[in-house]
């Protein structure tokens, strides 16, 4: 990879190397988290960050239940945190969770990652997704897919024993 990175890479790409590496890291992370079924893929479109969305829902439910039981809890409450402070913290947590989920959706929109591949259970699905994401990145930012660079990045990211062929990247 070093030879490609230094010797064969066009100047405009060399200057953008940090952006390329950052996008490759994001694409690799998303490739490893691909849904296993089409139903999961549809759900991921609706809820881009299920952990944060779930945390917000749980915080709201806990807030609601504690609010209802507040009068019964006050006589036996022995925490240094008052019930009102806890309720306020839960409301803040719910708002923060919503904000982070919205930020995740916005970041996903900026990164413009591709749709998951059709064969989600395939052993090469993460590789296919990664190469599609990187090709899309190069096409959007540099007007070419730069298949040789994508192939090299894929080989390094997935620690593949053999080189990935440019033609493989181009037909994905």
Task: Output the pLDDT for position 132.
Answer: 94
Query: Which is nearest to 134 in space by CA: 104, 155, 107, 161?
Result: 155
SS3 80: coil
pLDDT digits (tens, 9 = 90+) for 48-100: 677 878 888 899 999 999 888 888 888 888 888 888 899 999 999 999 988 98
Positive or negative: CA dihedral 117, 118, 120, 124: negative
pLDDT digits (tens, 9 = 90+) for 24-57: 998 998 898 888 888 888 877 777 677 878 888 8
User: CA 122, 52, 25 angle in degrees (round to 5)?
Assistant: 50
Give the C-alpha separation, 153 to 62, whole Å: 45
Instruction: Tell me the whole-structure pTM to 2 decimals.
Output: 0.65
Task: Output the pLDDT for position 6.
Answer: 60
User: Cα separations (Å) of 97 from 10, 55, 119, 133, 141?
Assistant: 42, 6, 32, 27, 32
pLDDT digits (tens, 9 = 90+) for 120-156: 889 999 999 999 999 999 999 999 999 999 999 999 9
**Cβ-count burial of 142 within 10 angstroms (0-12 exposed, 13-18 middle, 19+ buried)?**
middle
């Amino acid at each position: 990879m070093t030879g490609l990175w230094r010797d064969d890479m066009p100047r405009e790409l060399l200057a953008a190397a940090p952006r390329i590496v950052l996008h490759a890291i994001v694409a690799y992370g998303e490739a490893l988290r691909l849904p296993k079924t089409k139903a999961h893929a549809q759900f991921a479109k609706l809820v881009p960050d299920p952990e944060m969305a779930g945390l917000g829902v749980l915080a709201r439910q806990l807030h609601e239940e504690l609010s209802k039981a507040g009068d019964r809890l006050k006589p036996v409450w022995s925490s240094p945190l008052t019930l009102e402070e806890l309720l306020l913290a839960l409301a803040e947590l719910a708002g923060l969770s919503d904000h982070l989920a919205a930020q995740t959706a916005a970041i996903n929109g900026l990164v413009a990652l591709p749709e998951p591949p059709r064969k989600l259970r395939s052993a090469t699905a993460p590789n296919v997704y990664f190469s599609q994401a990187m090709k899309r990145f190069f096409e959007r930012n540099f007007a070419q897919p730069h298949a040789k660079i994508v192939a090299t990045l894929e080989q390094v990211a997935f620690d593949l024993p053999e080189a990935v062929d440019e033609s493989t990247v181009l037909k994905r």
